[in-house]
Homo-oligomer: A and B are copies of this chain.
Amino acid sequence: MNDMSTKKINTSVLPGFMELLPPQQMAFNRMKSVIIDTFEQFGFLPLDTPVIERAEVLLAKAGGETERQIYQFTKGDTSLALRFDLTVPLARYVSEHAREITFPFRRYHVGKVYRGESPQKGRFREFYQCDIDIIGREKLSLVNDAEIPSVIYKVFKRLDIGQFVIRISNRKILKGLLEGLNISTDKSVEVMRIIDKIDKVGKGSVEKMMVDLGIENDTITKIFHFLDISGNTDEIIRALEAMDIQNVQYRQGVDELSQVVTNVGKLGIPVSNYAIDLSIARGLDYYTGTVYETVLSEYPEIGSVCSGGRYDNLAEMYTEQKLPGVGISIGLTRLFYQLSEAGLIKTDSSTPTKVLVVPFVSDLSQPLSIATRLREAGIATEVYLEEDRMKNKLAYADKLGIPFVVIIGEDEIEKGEFSVKNMRNGKQTQVKADELLAYIESEGSK
């Protein structure tokens, strides 16, 4: 241990890592609890896999950008890596424990994942993902694709961060469309890339790029016809059905999407909270069927706060078993950051404590036993144990936003009455020892 030089150690948090002060941490934890509680209400089982995985496990699924972002290292002669999402660990887990798991396997996982991205505003290298997935063995009913939005709906309703819309689409539609228009697989990727730019560069540029790619005019017209489809869910489904596309995948995609939105409606999700948005199928290329994105209507610039979809086979890298699934992920750290930036995070209290007991006696028996009694009644209570002036003791309660201070001096003990100060309105009241609990409970709920 080096004494002189170590004073200079850099104690700031690493760039790209989030570290919160207690009031913000409490707000963050409240969001996390709402998410976990909702997941459990829908019968999802908790999972908590190691943050460190064998590098080969993670590299089997990663590729390109993701692979470069993985934190890799060696311990002994084992090549290790930090997980970059919760889906790959799920795939490994299900492959490894398939015989002990009951299918359909509904699991949630709330945990930290790691990506060594270039740090920039709102991008984190360590962040919480909150995932749910439903995994079937060999098959999984399409009704599950409708249940997932009902979980999203419940989560964001309870998070109470304003109006939101769950956008739903199906990847088979766009893929089937291009297939049905006889666009080769190679070109199809390029076409998707081009049409994804339409909002940025406009229709004219997109048309030119498609002509340059050698797409025929007739085909371009049909693509534009498809891109122009809009309306409510029924109108979009009818327009998709009316398109002159003879392709099995296309028809299947439209049929699946139609079933999913019908069932979403039956699940009691208000019409204003979900919509078909065919454009979201352009990205999310990990998925093979239904896809979801969720946007906060008042903060579209935040982008999707919850994305996911259906995949044909979760764990082909690790097992011969076919494991279709559907799931979503909430990037909580990023969401919290964005909501903070938008001023939407309430941090009115910076402690779980409801009562601060302030003793002015040398024998602490009474103050400590009062604190114990309040805690037994479920009221989070602290005793101010430092010797200090009254002013400083009240300042402590004030800074932390503790709502009640109970002052206990010799006089109070003799009279069997305590001074209770309501820190929110400054009111000070004499309360009998045996009425203290009832008083706090009734005042606290006001």
Any B CB within 8 A of the CB of A320: yes
Whether A21 and B100, one on each chain, are in contact in the complex, defined by CB atoms closer than 8 angstroms, is yes
Query: Contacts of A12 on B, CB cut-off 8 Å?
Result: 96
Query: Contacts of A28 on B, CB cut-off 8 Å?
Result: 48
| Complex alpha-carbon distance, A128 and B126, angstroms | 18
Query: Contacts of A56 on B, CB cut-off 8 Å?
Result: 9-10
Query: Contacts of A121 on B, CB cut-off 8 Å?
Result: none
Whether A369 and B22, one on each chain, are in contact in the complex, defined by CB atoms closer than 8 angstroms, is no
Query: Contacts of A214 on B, CB cut-off 8 Å?
Result: none
Any B CB within 8 A of the CB of A300: no
Whether A52 and B114, one on each chain, are in contact in the complex, defined by CB atoms closer than 8 angstroms, is yes
Any B CB within 8 A of the CB of A78: yes
Any B CB within 8 A of the CB of A71: yes
Whether A143 and B364, one on each chain, are in contact in the complex, defined by CB atoms closer than 8 angstroms, is yes
Whether A60 and B21, one on each chain, are in contact in the complex, defined by CB atoms closer than 8 angstroms, is no
Query: Contacts of A60 on B, CB cut-off 8 Å?
Result: 1-2, 6, 9
Q: Which residue of B lies closest to A62 (CB)?
A: B1
- From A101-109, A164-172, A187-195, A433-441, give the one contacting chain B: A101-109
Q: Known contacts A60-B9, A75-B71; is A150 also within 8 Å of B318 by CB? A: no
Whether A25 and B43, one on each chain, are in contact in the complex, defined by CB atoms closer than 8 angstroms, is no
B20, B266, B319, B351: which contacts A369 (Cβ < 8 A)?
A: B266
Q: Shortest Cβ distance from A401 into chain B, in angstroms?
A: 10
Query: Contacts of A46 on B, CB cut-off 8 Å?
Result: 22, 25-26, 29
Q: Shortest Cβ distance from A316 into chain B, in angstroms?
A: 8
Q: Shortest Cβ distance from A59 into chain B, in angstroms?
A: 9
| Complex alpha-carbon distance, A134 and B48, angstroms | 29
Q: Known contacts A26-B45, A73-B71, A263-B368; is A7 also within 8 Å of B51 by CB? A: no
Query: Contacts of A71 on B, CB cut-off 8 Å?
Result: 52, 73, 75, 80
Whether B10 and A268, one on each chain, are in contact in the complex, defined by CB atoms closer than 8 angstroms, is no
Q: Shortest Cβ distance from A39 into chain B, in angstroms?
A: 9
Any B CB within 8 A of the CB of A237: no
Q: Shortest Cβ distance from A85 into chain B, in angstroms?
A: 16
- From A248-256, A284-292, A382-390, give the one contacting chain B: A382-390
Any B CB within 8 A of the CB of A428: no
Any B CB within 8 A of the CB of A413: no
Any B CB within 8 A of the CB of A50: yes
Any B CB within 8 A of the CB of A299: no
Q: List A residues 140-162 near B (Cβ within 8 Å).
A: 140-141, 143-144, 147, 150, 154
B47, B107, B317, B386: which contacts A140 (Cβ < 8 A)?
A: B386
Closest 8 CB pairs of A and B: A73-B73, A43-B382, A43-B353, A40-B352, A22-B45, A11-B96, A143-B385, A17-B50
List 20 extra interface pairs beyond A7-B317, A25-B47, A266-B365, CB under 8 A. A9-B57, A11-B57, A13-B50, A14-B54, A19-B50, A21-B101, A22-B46, A29-B48, A41-B352, A41-B378, A43-B382, A51-B51, A75-B116, A102-B350, A106-B382, A147-B383, A147-B385, A266-B364, A266-B368, A267-B372
Return 7 A-B CB contacts under 8 Å, by A number: A1-B60, A19-B93, A29-B46, A43-B356, A51-B112, A73-B73, A267-B368
Q: Which residues of A contact B (CB under 8 A)?
A: 1-3, 6-7, 9-14, 17-22, 25-26, 28-29, 40-54, 56-57, 60-61, 63, 71-73, 75-76, 78, 80, 92-93, 95-97, 100-102, 104, 106-107, 112, 114, 116, 125-126, 136, 139-141, 143-144, 147, 150, 154, 263, 266-268, 316-320, 350-353, 356, 363-365, 368-369, 372, 375, 378, 380-383, 385-387, 396, 399-400, 402
